[in-house]
């Protein structure tokens, strides 16, 4: 199915829902659904739309190879790190109010990012976008439950929400390629400004404000979690060579201090959550083996997908000389294969259970990514990438449905919201940490290749060295994909795990399929 047909399908479902509403009171539901769906689309679209612009952003601001990682990573890191807190803020202060604040913050940050004139301004804008997204996403999800009555209305709304989540990443990739090619990379950020403003103005008119809940903010836990993960990402990325003729910096004081600080903060986070009366992450939800397998698998899938698509984009444009548009179109087979695999996984899960799907998905995913690691400067897309993309995406998508079901299995009703949030957080944070680590692998390998070439008197080009670095990153990513097999064999005990039908709907894992 093409992106155009998928878009028409989702639009048709929203339109049909609106037409069926009939009365004035019911017609509000159609507009409410439109606001919620587009808010979700905007948040998830921004996980991918900037990816196509990275090769243009790097020379415009003078980013180093490792510094460029932060243009992608800051958004996912802040978004994922604050998502649990964002959900709690909405519960206590009012979900509609928090949605509007998040939309205005997101729009302002997008404008500032699009107009940025230096690295610091751009990165600050991306971080602020992440804060806005962490407020928008859980509020939009919760507003489905409070604005749509149980039965057909809520089922249709949830279906549209999931479809938009699945479509968002594809829209971001193709939209980013179009905007970067025919306008400017700045429009990949500015595009969200008018959309966010319109949504913020429409929200109080069409969305009901649910009753607020009592509780307290776990600010210390949020600070410890985000600070610890940020320090870990910084330490991993700072260890990479800062230039083609540099060496890695694992023994440098900043790297050691960052990694030590990350350890201290993450241990502090666990201690805070264990003692808190209102924890962001109740540690009891991690005690179940099946749920732990789901969360860890989601993080591993995030690592692999983020790495493949980040390095493949740079490979296409920096090594093969593709345009931004051509690069975005190169991902269409990936997106199609992921959608097919997710549909197959959903059909097979009730029959065979999660473990066989995760084992098969791990093997397919690892095999496809390993194939990518064999791609060189003189190879072609159709000969070396197309098949690898299809196999890897299909395999990873086989895992996507089981890890959601596992994460929600046997969870208490009181913990269903946190369990659903964690399964959305895991791919974002796993990808942010993974891309930092694999970026260090890639640039260290590239620097070593150049040093070896100079020592041998060879005239290896920078393109060959960069290609070798990316291939090594793909190889490590393939190893990460294989860990899903280990998790499935060691941790999963049930042959078939029931999907938690009455739990809050979560954003489809397809939302991360083309990060």
Q: pTM for the full model?
A: 0.83
Instruction: Kindly calculate the radius of gyration of the chain based on its CA atoms and give it in whole angstroms.
Output: 22
- 8 Å CB contact between 105 and 131: yes
**Closest CA relative to residue 302, chosen from 105, 491, 76:** 76
pLDDT the model gives residue 287? 86
The position carrying tokens 């087979």 is 333
pLDDT the model gives residue 243? 57
What's the full length of the chain, in residues?
515
Q: Which two tokens mark 239?
A: 């260890």
- 8 Å CB contact between 428 and 302: yes
DSSP 514: T
pLDDT the model gives residue 361? 96
DSSP 320: S
DSSP 287: S
DSSP 151: T
CB atoms under 10 Å from CB of 395, counted, come to 26
pLDDT the model gives residue 384? 92
3-class SS of residue 1: coil
- 8 Å CB contact between 170 and 1: no
Residue 371: phi and psi, rounded to 5, are -60, -40
DSSP characters for 450-495? HHHHHHHT----HHHHHHHHHHHHHHHHHHHHHHHHHHHHHH---S
pLDDT the model gives residue 24? 46
- 8 Å CB contact between 153 and 29: yes
Q: Which two tokens mark 264?
A: 């201290």
DSSP 504: P
CB atoms under 10 Å from CB of 310, counted, come to 25
pLDDT the model gives residue 100? 96
Distances (CA, A) of 372 to 169, 230, 443: 21, 29, 17
Measure the N-to-C terminal CA separation of the chain; round to a whole number of Å.
19
E strand intervals along 115-206: none
- pLDDT tens string, the chain, 515 residues long: the values are 555 555 556 556 555 554 554 444 556 788 888 999 899 899 989 988 998 899 899 999 998 877 888 998 899 899 988 988 888 888 888 889 999 999 999 999 999 999 999 999 999 999 999 999 999 988 887 888 778 887 777 777 776 776 677 678 778 888 999 999 999 999 999 999 999 999 999 999 988 877 777 677 788 999 999 999 999 999 998 888 765 555 567 778 889 999 999 999 999 999 999 998 888 888 888 888 888 998 999 999 999 998 998 899 999 998 999 998 999 999 999 989 988 988 898 888 888 889 999 999 999 999 999 999 999 999 999 999 999 999 999 999 999 888 888 887 777 766 766 777 788 888 889 998 999 999 999 988 888 887 776 655 454 577 888 899 999 999 999 999 999 999 999 988 755 444 434 344 444 444 444 44
3-class SS of residue 295: helix
């Amino acid at each position: 199915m093409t992106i155009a047909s998928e878009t028409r399908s989702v639009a048709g479902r929203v339109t049909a829902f609106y037409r069926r509403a009939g009365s004035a009171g019911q017609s509000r539901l159609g507009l409410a659904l439109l606001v919620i769906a587009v808010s979700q689309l905007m948040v998830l679209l921004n996980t991918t739309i900037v990816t196509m612009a990275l090769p243009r952003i790097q020379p415009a601001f003078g980013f180093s190879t490792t510094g460029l990682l932060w243009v992608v990573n800051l958004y996912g890191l802040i978004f994922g790190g604050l998502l649990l807190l964002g959900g709690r803020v909405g519960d206590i202060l009012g979900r509609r109010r928090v949605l509007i604040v998040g939309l205005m913050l997101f729009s302002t940050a997008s404008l500032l990012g699009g107009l940025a004139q230096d690295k610091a301004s751009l990165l600050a804008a991306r971080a602020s976008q992440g804060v806005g997204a962490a407020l928008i996403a859980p509020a939009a999800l919760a507003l489905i439950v409070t604005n749509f009555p149980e039965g057909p209305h809520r089922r249709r709304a949830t279906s549209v929400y999931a479809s938009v989540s699945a479509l968002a990443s594809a829209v971001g990739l193709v939209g980013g390629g179009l905007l970067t090619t025919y306008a400017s990379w700045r429009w990949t950020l500015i595009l969200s400004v008018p959309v966010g403003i319109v949504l913020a103005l429409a929200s109080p008119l069409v969305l009901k404000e649910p009753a607020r809940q009592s509780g307290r903010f776990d600010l210390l836990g949020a600070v410890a979690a985000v600070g610890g993960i940020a320090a870990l990402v910084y330490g991993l990325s700072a260890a990479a060579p800062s230039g083609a003729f540099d060496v890695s910096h694992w023994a440098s004081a900043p790297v050691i201090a960052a990694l030590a600080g990350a350890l201290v903060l993450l241990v502090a986070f666990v201690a805070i959550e264990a003692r808190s009366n209102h924890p962001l992450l109740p540690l009891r939800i991690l005690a179940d083996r099946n749920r732990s397998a789901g969360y860890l698998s989601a993080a591993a899938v995030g690592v692999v997908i983020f790495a493949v698509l980040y390095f493949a984009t740079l490979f296409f444009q920096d090594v093969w000389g593709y345009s931004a548009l051509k690069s975005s179109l190169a991902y269409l087979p990936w997106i199609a294969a992921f959608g097919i695999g997710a549909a197959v996984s959903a059909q097979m899960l009730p029959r065979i259970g999660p473990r066989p799907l995760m084992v098969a998905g791990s093997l397919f995913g690892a095999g496809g990514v390993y194939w990518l690691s064999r791609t060189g400067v003189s190879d072609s897309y159709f000969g070396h990438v197309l098949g690898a993309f299809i196999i890897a995406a299909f395999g990873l998508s086989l895992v996507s449905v089981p890890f959601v079901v596992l994460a929600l299995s046997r969870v208490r009703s009181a913990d269903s919201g946190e369990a659903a949030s964690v399964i959305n957080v895991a791919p974002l944070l796993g990808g942010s940490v993974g891309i930092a680590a694999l970026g260090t692998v890639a640039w260290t390998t590239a620097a070593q290749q150049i040093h070896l070439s100079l020592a041998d008197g060879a005239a290896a080009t920078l393109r060959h060295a960069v290609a070798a670095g990316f291939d090594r990153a793909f190889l490590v990513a393939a190893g990460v994909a294989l860990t899903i097999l280990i998790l499935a064999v060691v941790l999963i005990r049930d042959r078939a795990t029931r999907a938690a039908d009455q739990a809050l709907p979560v954003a489809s894992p397809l939302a991360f399929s083309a990060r």
